[in-house]
Amino acid sequence: MAESFAVLIIVICLAVAYDFVNGFHDTANAIATSISTRVLSPQRAILISASMNFVGALSGTAVAQTIGTGIVDPKSVNLSTLLAGLIAAMAWGLFTWYRGIPSSSSHALIFGIAGAAVATGGLESLVGDGLEKIVLSLLISPIIGFGGGLLTMVILLWLFRRSQPHEVNSIFRYVQIGSATFMAFSHGSNDAQKNMGVIATALVIYYPLSTFHVPLWVILLAATSMALGTAIGGWRIIKTMGTRITHLEPVQGFAAEFSAASVIEAGSRLGLPVSTTHTISTAIMGVGATRRLSAVRWGIAGDIFATWVLTIPATSVLAWATSLLLRALFS
């Protein structure tokens, strides 16, 4: 019993650590465009991002419910399964952060847990319907992000077609502060809930509980750890997101942030986990494409897409191997 409780504590601590890593890894999602357009200084942008990440994380638990009940059957796995999934997801997140490549923390966590679950209880331990719903939301949200960024920018270009570019950007230097705040809030509302779901699942497995529930202390813990991680910042990825995909002006930064945040927030209210990295990246691409297709540095975009594709098998296999290793060490 004591050993199991120790594993529970380790899982909770690692989930908190992953939430922290998620915060500094995904800081660029909310603030890179605001920094690149010089609307906000790095210090102010990070302060806004950290505080709104915290507030957003307190806004609901619908995504946590999906993560906790839609990936694996708690009766078919154990705490070591969650531990292996978290280890794999964190290792991948740190690797891509070091390389300065925006990767999806959502994909890493979800498919890390799925890969570990297969090693523990076989394919039947996966919740097929729930996993299909999650995968579809992760696949569709970047497409909507691209289309939303392009459409928002087209609308703005039409509305301000008789205005001078410097006049428009002077206006949106202030408006973009609002879109950056919205983006940070949506990031917290979706991403922090994923780790809430993992911790709540660990509690269901350990006690065990008859119903899935996210306690208040779990919500506050996840919100705090993500906000602290965001405050540290991920400067390597900020550079990629803010300057290397396409050149941005304040009006374009607003279009990208507003469209991406709208998609993410809709996902949060519907209980759908989406990748904030994928959504804001494709929104930036959509905005850049309104100038001309060559305005987007498609080589950089291709590297980002390759990392997205590689994340799924990499984290699944790594978690599967880690799960087998943990079983060999502690059986």
Mean pLDDT of each 10-residue bin along the chain, 331 residues long: 77 92 68 70 78 92 92 90 94 79 80 94 91 88 92 94 87 87 91 93 87 93 89 59 60 91 94 87 85 63 71 93 88 64
| 131's tokens | 């996993």
Half-sphere exposure of 240 (CA within 13 A, CB side): 26
Q: Please tell me the distance from the alpha carbon of residue 191 to that of residue 19, in angstroms, as a whole number.
A: 8
Rounded to the nearest 10 degrees, the angle between the axes of helix 79-99 and helix 165-206 is: 150
Q: Please tell me the distance from the alpha carbon of residue 188 to that of residue 228, in angstroms, as a whole number.
A: 12
**Predicted local confidence at residue 30, as pLDDT:** 62
The answer to whether 302 touches 95, Cβ cutoff 8 Å, is no
Burial of 212 (0-12, 13-18, 19+ CB in 10 A): middle
SS3 101: coil
Tokens 């599967």: give the residue: 320
**Predicted local confidence at residue 2, as pLDDT:** 45
Rounded to the nearest 10 degrees, the angle between the axes of helix 2-25 and helix 216-232 is: 40
**Predicted local confidence at residue 1, as pLDDT:** 42
Helices first, then strands: H and E counts in the chain: 13, 0
151 φ, ψ to 5°? Answer: -65, -45
Alpha helices in the chain (DSSP H): 2-25, 27-36, 42-57, 62-70, 79-99, 105-121, 128-159, 165-206, 216-232, 235-239, 250-270, 276-289, 298-330
214 φ, ψ to 5°? Answer: -105, 105
**Predicted local confidence at residue 249, as pLDDT:** 81
